[in-house]
Structure 1
Amino acid sequence: MGEGAENIFQKVINRVRYGLCHKLYQDRDPSVLKRSEEIEQFFDVTVEMLCIANTDGYFTRLNPAWEQVLGWTSQELMEKKFLEFVHPDDRDITNQAIAKLAGQQKVVNFLNRYLCRDGTYKWLEWRGTPVNNTIYAAAQDITERRNIESALIGKNNILDAISYAATNLMTSLSDETIQEVLSKFGKAVGATRSYIFTHSYAPDGRSLVSIRYEWVKEGIPPQADNPVLQDVDWVNQGYKRWAEDLKKGRTIYGNPHNFPVEEQQFLLENRVNSMAIIPIFSHKEFFGFLGFTDRADGQEWDDVELETLGAAAGLLGAAFERRKAEEEIKIRGDNLQAFFDTIEDFLFVINRDWVIEQVNGTVIRRLRYEKNELVGKSAFIIHPPSRYKDVEEIQKEILRGNCEFCQIPLITKDGKIIQVETKIISGTWNGNPVLFVVSKDITEISLSEEKFSKAFQASGSLMAILSVTGGYIDVNRSFLDVLGYKQEEVIGKMAADLDLSFHYEDREAIWSEVKRTGSIRNKKIQLKTKDNKVITGILSADIIWIHDNEALLVVINDVTEITRLSDALLSANKKLNLLSSITRHDILNQVQALFFLGEFLKDKVSQDSQGRSDLEKLLRAVETIHRQILFTRDYQDLGITAPAWMNVESVITREKGNKIFSDISINVTTGSLEIFADPMFSKVCYNLLENSLRHGEHVTEIRVSFYESKEGGLLVFEDNGAGVPASEKKRIFNQGIGKNTGLGLFLTAEILSITGISIQETGEEGKGARFEISIPAEGFRYG
């Protein structure tokens, strides 16, 4: 309140105090009346908000400045207690000021906020003087000054927060530090909530944001654990504008009521009245954003504040960038250490003075030292004392750069010798030149080489090791004995020089396949001995490595005699089959004659005679002979042809094409399954399908499926028929059991057994038959 106005009020108060006002109206003194009119005019025209109130809390008089500042009429302001116009947060201190005035004390520089007609509040600064129960006061609108001061304080607070962030984020990148930085920024701008959202991409490329850090003012519920704010697909949830603008470095701010409709719902549901979103970049990539919501008093954001907060976001981006780099360095360091300690070879870092700088876990574990017993000690400690002289010589050669490899053994703390091959490489460790020493334990390798050498020489198979160019490096005794050569006649020669193979193109094909796949298996070949005898062999070969050099290990099993016997057996079987075929044809001719004779005799013998009954028995016997002879034709090739891989689904598909299965559903779910079986496996499938049809009584569906287990595979044929009685489950695979020839299931089991496959019936009577075919693990595959 101005000094002149204060003097005038003081004069008014004095006049009231001494009763001059009363005299003014009684005596009508012209000079006094003139002075009163002057005061009234001043009361009406002054910009100061002058008032008279009582200690009951009501205004009794107001000058026009009140309506100009607050928008309320004097009548409206005087109808209610003036405390109703005071901001709720300021009512307690206002009551305290009224109590002070009621106690006849002056109130100077008192501040509170008054409600305007448009719903806003303005800051008023008061000076008041009491006269008994009357209060004379003047107020001044300081809202603009207050906002300026608040803005300056806010900017200073923001700068202080940035200073704190700059100092602390560069020294500590813990989550606690980031939380404290958010707290300082939130308080500096007068927000109720400050937060950081991080950005990521989903596997399908969608842009996602998640809340990661948050500070909230006391009494405000946090949202950091809200699952709705994790992995938010913001582009597809109405915030495409945010994603595009923020990724371009633009700031989003303002009142959500002024945002596009699609952005308003979530914000208004959560009662967000104002907000500012500032992008954060790390490694020039969009990292996420720094956000603030609901500033006190609805204060709007100005450009200077937003620019300052942009600098804060830059600090955060730099901090996250640094933390990411440090995390990557730590991960690399941890990975390197883990790799260093996981390697089964002995790893040493030795300086130029031959002192151990570092060792890996294998050294500690295998040499049985504590780490501090090796690090800082001479590297001589890890070698047998008897080899120290050799170590000294090799040390000199290594330091001269003339040696990178040695085979000096290591020694454990308790004196056990470990044979090793050692590689030495120069490098840098902690900025100093060192030697990286890698020692490989070759104890087992040496033992394996010894075992291989003994097995190589003792094997009854022809074995040879050849270079990749075809030259013989080594051969075993069986190779020399069978082919009739001496060691010196073979070693160093090319395979082509000995001309062992009949066909040059076969030899080239073998070499080509080995080079392409690394191995070859069970290739039938023919070889010539030194004296030109012919040998049949089964060849297998693998690429092997000998002292880092590629070589070829060839194994040939001599099957000359087996092949000869097999050919002879096959020839004999063919002759037996021919004889069987001729005999069967002759028997069938005689059986056919018996059928004709039987039909002829039926006309000669009366229906009710004993002879007619005997004739019927005879014809049934002939029919049985006929079926069994036909049955032997189907199985005459059993076991003659070598087993092969057969696709189960293809075999069953062919068999179910038979017209006898046209009225039932046959479902096969074996896919590309192949089993190794006798070629008569197709007869197995037919027998099982036909068995269901013949004995199932009311079968309408047959299902064929396959299951794998630890023991192997299980091929299942099951139907929805009558099933098999428990007493018959094992007997049905016996010879002569059955309603037809009595051989179907017996021969089915025999065909399967050729390749180690077994069969059993496990169904439940009344619910259908279930035949389970058990196949060894090596007996099935997927084509």
Structure 2
Amino acid sequence: MIVTDVHGNITDCNMEALNLLEFPSKAAILGKDYYDLIVTEDQPKVRESIKELFKNGSINRFECSLVNSSGLEIPVEYSANILRDSHGNPVGAIGLARNISERKKAEDALRQSQIDLNRAQAVAKTGSWRLDIQHDVLLWSDETYRIFGVPKGTPMTYEAFLKFVHPEDRVYVDQNWQAALSGKPYDIEHKIIVNGNVKWIQEKAELEFSENGILLGGFGTAQDITDLKKMERELKNSEEKYRKQFEEVLDAVFLADSETGVLVDCNRAATELVGREKPELIGQLQRILHPEEDDLGKFSKVFADFLKTRPDFLESQIVTKNGEIRDVIIRASSFKLGKKTLIQGIFRDVTEQKRMERDLQQSEEKYRSMIEQAPDAIFTFDLNGTVTSCNQAGLTVTGYPERELVGKAFAEFVSFVDSSKELFGLYNFLFDGGVPEPFEVSFLTKSGDTFFGEVHTSLLKQGDKIAGFQAIVRDITERKKAEDALRESEKRFRELSEMLPEVVFEADSRGVITFVNHEAYTKFGYSEEEFSKGLTTLQMIAAEDQKRVQKNFHKLVSGKEPGPNEYLALRKDGSTFPMIINSTPVLRDGKVVGIRGVMVDLTEHMKTEKALKETLTKMEALNEKLSVVGKLTRHDTRNKLSVILNNVYLAKQQLPDSRATDYLEEIESAVDQIEKIFEFSRMYQRLGTENLSDVDVKKSLDEAFMLACRSNQVELGNECEGLTVKADSLLRQLFYNLIDNSLKHGEKVTKIRVYCKKEPDKLQLIYEDDGVGIADDEKQLIFNEGYGKGTGYGLYLIQKTCEVYGWSIRETGELGKGAQFTITVETT
């Protein structure tokens, strides 16, 4: 306790004050200015508190620091009241100062602890929070504010917290919080939105409940695990990536424990190699991969060899589930995985490679055999042109034994003229990467004779290095003789072509004329020199026909023959004349090298054709006149015949039962025959006058049957539904005549059937009845003009109609079983 006057001078104190300030006695402190006991930095606020004291009469729990006699600062909590006289006037103040040094130390320690906690939370990215139930607020640590991106000190409630939770996770978070309020653990991971970015946090909480289960408060943590989640994703992606690479690598990979030999993993290629599923392999001794061995230890021989010698590669065999043995090359290595050492074996299936090596060896042996047995001479040379090997045919054609030929220079048995012309540039051409065309040389044999050879050359390489070249020589002596004979034949051909009155020509594959006979000079007006300079076939053709010529020329050079074609030819002076060209491709060794043909001048032919057309026109006019005359004649004659028939009828009425009646009936029969002859002439006159078109066979047959058969005693079997043929309106007359024939001459016909048979290139239309049939000796005669019991024109007209259609007809029935007519229609 310290008492001061109104000026701040100390007038009294107790022993606690002396001890606190370390003064030996009251005398040492009395009279001192109270402000001298206050630390300098606190004096301003103390002066303000004294003003408040004299204004309000007291101050409570004011903190400041005093300085003792040793100069040590002592924090105190200070309370004071005004002292007054009997009149109520202020005469001083009395204050109580309590030493709060220990409390300040505790507060400093607590403050440092809070700083350390905040720093620790920041390092751990873990914030904390407390639930204040009384005020319904969440008290967040600095790190929690930082995690959520919220300014420190911002009031926070559960509802405000939920707004930061990612929309996808809000229901999940709220469900877990509600469960925690009923006593269940709260330990969850979820996403939050911070300034538009997504973060992951892990939350844990411990809630405090009363004995009655009432929530009293709670404490929790919020850890930023965004980086952890990112690392987890990256790790997962990395694992998936390497697992995928492991699974998809083309070679089989097996992992086995080095101590036990037990398989611990394998990839998909491994299962495919041995034909087993992964569960059939994992946990098995790795010797299951290899064929059975005498020593049935836990390791296969190849595994044991690796453990001993550690080679980079091993050749071995594996056995598949179905017992197939396959060759493999194994690249083995070991590595640590935890405390275990694993052996990794990469197996490459070389079964096909081994087979190919065997096939190659067999092929080489076969190649050597083929070379020895080849009919062509085969030589190999080094870079100096010296023979290094040859086959038996080479020894035969040259006449040298092998010991004399090997080591001999090529030029020694090739004549100098040929070798200087053909061979000196061959080496450089081959070495520059060229592929020379076959060339011909004459060879000198040991006996001094010569033979002609066609030489095919190619380089010999060892790796990428040129080691020499090979020559295959074919004896073409006989071919040379044939070529001489061909030249003689061509000479005769040219001599013969000069004798022809038509243009004979040859052209190369570009259309350039390479040969013409003398007739071409006359027809086209060009000189021999002009032709020799390279005139083309198009220059011989008028402009309007050139595209057609080009089209047919391309057909020729592709090996096709377009047949004869008419064009308008063009002379040098510009005049034109019609011509027809018949040409064929010229082949050499199966390849088209040009064309050869004959041009025929059609000028006279065209004149003749024109005259013929004029004659045909006159004939058509004459036929038309004859047609008119025929129609008028038939009409007038029929009128007269009608008069005759009428008079015959009247005469028969006047002369009943008289012998004259027989004569009158003969007259009636003759008139009927005349009518039929007129009908035949009318039908015959129509033959070939109509254009052929698609005609419905069934319809024509039905109409003909209705006209010819007027009773129900005969049945028609018409089996031609949907059948059409190229014909005209006379098809119905054809069927009518056939039906009329059956009815008049079949005697007992009750059924007529018409059907067809289709073959790849023709159609057979078959007409048959069930009458008496036709005798074999009459089968051809019935189609003759005038043959038969009637007019003799019915079947004759049918045959002529078929000929106009391009058909044929014959009688194919059997006597006693009915008549059968087979009409053949070509469809190609």
TM interval, short-chain normalised: 0.3 to 0.5
Higher relative CO (CA 8 A, sep ≥ 6), structure 1 or 2? 1
Normalising to structure 2: TM-score of the pair? 0.44
Normalising to structure 1: TM-score of the pair? 0.46
Based on CA coordinates, which of the two structures has the bigger radius of gyration? 2
